[in-house]
Amino acid sequence: MRRTGLCLAGITVLVSCSDPTTEAPRDAGADALFDGAMDAPTDTGTGSPEDSGPSECPVGVAFAQGSAEGASDPTMVPAGMGPGGAVRAGRLTAAALPVDRTGLSTWQAGDYVLANNRVALLIEAARPTSGYNPWGGTPVGVASVRDGRLVDAGDFGELIIGLGRFTLQAESVTVMNDGRDGMPAVVRASGPLRAIPFLDEFGRAIAPADYGDIRVAMDYELRADSDVAEVYATFDVPRLGTTVVRTVLNGFFQANRMGRFVPNGGFMEGTGAMSATSLVGWVDDRATSWAWMLPASRGTITPIISVSGFDMFTAPAITFPPCSQTRVHFGRIALGGPGLDGLQRAIAADARVPLRAITGTITDASGAPAAGARVHATSMDGARYLDRVSADAMGRFELRVPAGPVRLQGWRSGSAPTAVVPVAEGASTASLVFPADGSIAVEATEAGSAQALPVRVQVIPEGATAPSLPASHGEAVPSYGRLHVAFPIDGRVTLPAPPGRYRVVVSHGPFYDLSDTMVTVTAGMSTRVPVTLRRVVETPGVLCGDFHVHTTRSPDSDDDARLKLSSGAADDLSVMARSEHEWVADFQPLIEEMGLQRRMRGVGSIELTTFTYGHFGVFPLTADTSRINNGNFNWVGRLPPAVFADVRARPERPTLVINHPRGSRAGAYFDAAGYNATDGTANTAMWDDGFTAVEFFNDSSFEENAVLVRDWFSFLSRGRRVFAVGSSDSHHLNSSPVGFPRTCMFLGTSDPMAATPQAIGTAVGTGRSTIAGGIFLDVRALPATGTSGAVGPGQELMGVGSEGRLEITARAPTWVRADRLQVFVDGTALPTIALDDAARDPSDPVVRYRGTVRVPVAASGSWVVVAAHGRELEPVFPRRTAFAVSNPIFLRR
């Protein structure tokens, strides 16, 4: 191999190579979702096989390989900096893996680690891997090192680096140097560049160039004296012409699991307001944090896309000379923790920037330690965000900041922040004190049994605004002006509150009454709010479920699974499907661990998430931990009918639900397939006639979905028995409650433990359900005479004659405002029925309507759907509108 000494912006060129190839054309059919990114730089190549000179590159030297094992015990790093070294690289046994505190990690025994006495970077072996990048050989975890063990592992998601939409497909991962010689430890992953499956189809609009002819060796290096791992990439480019890569991929699935941080700007909700930055950090307040940055010689990274939990940045262009091996200092991974302060220390030490320590205490007004409270540091004018730390059990803190005066402020949820405390440049201590608080103590039980009841507790300031800090501080607060929204599964919670007047709303879902109390909070005092709630809407034989619930296993959700289950129990959901993007998961084990199995059951599920033609709920499924993503479905490069056939072939015989069928083509099947409700036509290659369940009501009411209701009725009018599903699609509990709306299934039991996942899936797929959004509808079609043999939603009644009878009962708690009822026969609405005082049952105000409606039946048969409408479900579910809708009943003369 011939070497040259050319060095351009941190890139060393080594001439070599293999076979030429050409670049793919731009994909004109890419999803319009990414039209806004079309101003991203495109990649170019100059020269071609037709140029004068040789017709192909000479055969290059293969990338060197190292040891398959490396150091025998790589986490047992010896102390000191002598010849024995204080850094190691090697393979991890199962016993050496860190504790997975979130249950979301994808590392495995046999993966590799770079470790010194302080920090560690875990790297996948050459294996198929779970997540969105299946190719192996990339970082899979970050941790600290203590007493020879990996500890405090951060909640690491995915780092995807490469060229355009291409990244390394690891054919081998080896240890090039295990560190025992005192030199940096090095793990190398090598193989061809391959398109990232989830990016490949739509990503061509952003990065059209094809780099499948290029091979790469990715070296991860760690020194004994550094907390920054270096990432070098050697590209073997078999092209006769010069290639300029302008879309250099720096991608992350991380922001919903670790806070996104940029220097001076602080914590960022998205990248839309972010300009080019020297680094992007990911902060785990409880464990090891990390940051991605470029070497100074290569400049900054620039955000391109932030969508569905994926943040894509690009780095400065890379130029590959003809027939070359080019070594690029591709990036750097800083490791430190816990939280931001530890990460900032690692970054500053690497840059040789001195930091000064500020120590102090943070207490409440009585002088008691404010354990766990956070202390934030900014510049004196507040324009630059610097650092944050959490106080220990004694209220003590220590943080490091650059030279110059700063100001500190303390924060804890539910309290007013402390006063801003300036700290002069020469000062090193500070004391912060929270204003005097009181508290609100709620204890909720169920009427008739006095048993503890899981509840939703909302505390709303009266005549005041809930305290908050600037967004740069990264302190989330409840939406809709609440001071607190809590979900105690034992019905008991004590919440701090500044002195003042508060509305305390305690609820247990839409079928229970409500406690709505005004209280006055006094400093230093606890105000008790005892609550007894009663079920007022009885639903015997019915279980209500939400089949579209996300947690942090999905990259676009920031909700912990326990929190999601707590909220579901508090809002009286009996069935919850854990519908993670591209990952089979089930809430049931956690339900049992939390002791909630008498109240709810989980259903194994996946949201089959294509990036080209829609999202689809599939349940019940059994997670298979031996398979990628617990057994997801291969959709890349395949049309929907073939993928749906794979779904139906699963041994669990799952139900497939078309989720949110209208919207952007990437996430909406009806739009992607070109379904036309007027004539019932669609793209035949894309269309499937086998589905029976559609999520027509996604976090929204009947009247908010006129287009989708038109689609639904178009199927029914053409004889296709397609049934409605109502789900929350909750990604962020702060703004999207679980269980609105919910699908209430007629299962013949009200006991979650008695319902099987198969029976639940069948009920949804056959329409044996009604959709409830604060109102519950019970609709039955009665035979021509008497009531014996009546049928409900999803069923058919024969022999009714030219006029059928519908028995309709609409129920809702008195706090729900219901005002209208509609009956649709073959898509045509009969006269609206007012749900006013005259329609109520005088002996039971919960019954908003009970009566029999006569409906015409066509000679060929008819179908009937009933819908109830109401007003906003404030104060329980702000900005959600009360409604209910039955699935169709089919009538035959």
pLDDT of residue 44: 56
Q: What is the pLDDT of residue 13?
A: 35
How far is it, in rounded angstroms, from Cα 633 to Cα 642?
11
Q: What is the mean pLDDT of the chain?
A: 92
Residue 330: partners with Cβ closer than 8 Å, 6 or more residues away: 161, 218, 231, 232, 233
pLDDT higher than 60, residue 785: yes
Task: Check residue 769 and give its pLDDT.
Answer: 99
DSSP state letters, 340-392: HHHHHHHHHHHHT---EEEEEEEE-TTS-B-TT-EEEEEETTS-SEEEEEE--
Answer whether residue 7 shows pLDDT above 50.
no
Exposure string of 580-614, with b = 16+ CB inside 10 Å and e = fewer, is: bbbbbbbbbebbeebebeebbbbbbbbbbbbbbbb
Name the pLDDT band for 8 (thresholds 50, 70, 90): very low
Confidence class for position 786, pLDDT limits 50, 70, 90? confident
HSE, side-chain direction, 13 A CA sphere, residue 319: 9
Residue 251: predicted pLDDT: 96
- What is residue 762's DSSP assignment? H
- pLDDT for position 454: 99
Contacts of residue 5, Cβ cutoff 8 Å, sequence gap at least 6: none
Question: Nearest CA to 132 among 162, 110, 171?
Answer: 162
pLDDT band at 40 (very low <50, low <70, confident <90, very high): very low
CB-based contact 597:566 (threshold 8 Å): no
Q: Distance between alpha carbon 810 and the CA centroid of its chain, in Å?
A: 36
Q: Do domains 438-533 and 774-893 have the same CATH topology?
A: yes
Give the Cα separation of 627 and 608 in Å (integer): 15
pLDDT in tens, 559-609: 999 999 999 999 999 999 999 999 999 999 999 999 999 999 999 999 999
- Tens digits of per-residue pLDDT, 555-569? 999 999 999 999 999
Segment 878-892 shows an average pLDDT of 98
Question: Structurally, what CATH architecture does the domain formed by 87-346 represent?
Answer: Distorted Sandwich (2.70)
Mean pLDDT of 312-340: 97
Looking at beta carbons, which pairs linking 364-367 to residues 24 or more positions away fall under 8 Å?
364/433, 364/434, 364/436, 364/437, 365/433, 365/434, 365/435, 365/436, 365/437, 365/523, 365/524, 366/436, 366/524
**For 423-464, how does the pLDDT look when each residue is reduced to its tens digit (9 = 90+)?**
999 999 999 999 999 999 999 999 999 899 999 999 999 999
Query: Tell me, what's the pLDDT at 306?
Result: 86
Specify whether the CB–CB gap between 202 and 666 falls below 8 A: yes
d(CA 132, CA 370): 41
Q: Tell whether the model's pLDDT for residue 107 goes beyond 80.
A: yes
Residue type, position 438, single letter: G
pLDDT digits (tens, 9 = 90+) for 851-861: 999 999 999 99
**Per residue in 694-740, pLDDT tens?**
999 999 999 999 999 999 999 999 999 999 999 999 999 999 999 99
539-766 fold:
TIM Barrel (3.20.20)
pLDDT score, position 51: 34
At 20 the pLDDT is 32
Q: What is the mean pLDDT of residues 311-335?
A: 97
- CATH number for the domain running over 354-433: 2.60.40.1120
Taking the C-alpha atoms of residue 312 and residue 303, their distance in angstroms, rounded to an integer, is 6
| Residue from 228, 101, 86 nearest 155 by CA | 101
Identify the DSSP state of 58: P
pLDDT in tens, 503-542: 999 999 999 999 999 999 999 999 999 999 999 999 999 9
110 pLDDT higher than 50:
yes
* pLDDT tens-place string over residues 203-242: 787 789 999 999 999 999 999 999 999 999 999 999 999 9
What per-residue confidence (pLDDT) applies to 48?
37
User: Phi and psi of 34, rounded to 5°?
Assistant: -105, 15
Considering only the top CATH level, what class is 774-893? mainly beta
For the chain, give every domain's residue range. Answer: 87-346, 354-433, 438-533, 539-766, 774-893
The structure's pTM equals 0.92
Q: CA Rg, the chain, in Å?
A: 30
φ/ψ of residue 48, rounded to 5:
-160, 170
**Which residue's structure tokens are 């189809």?**
201
Fold of 438-533: Immunoglobulin-like (2.60.40)
Angle CA 727–729–733, to nearest 5: 115
The confidence band for 81, taking pLDDT boundaries of 50, 70 and 90, is low
Contact 315, 44 (CB under 8 A): no
Q: Give me the pLDDT at residue 50, please.
A: 32
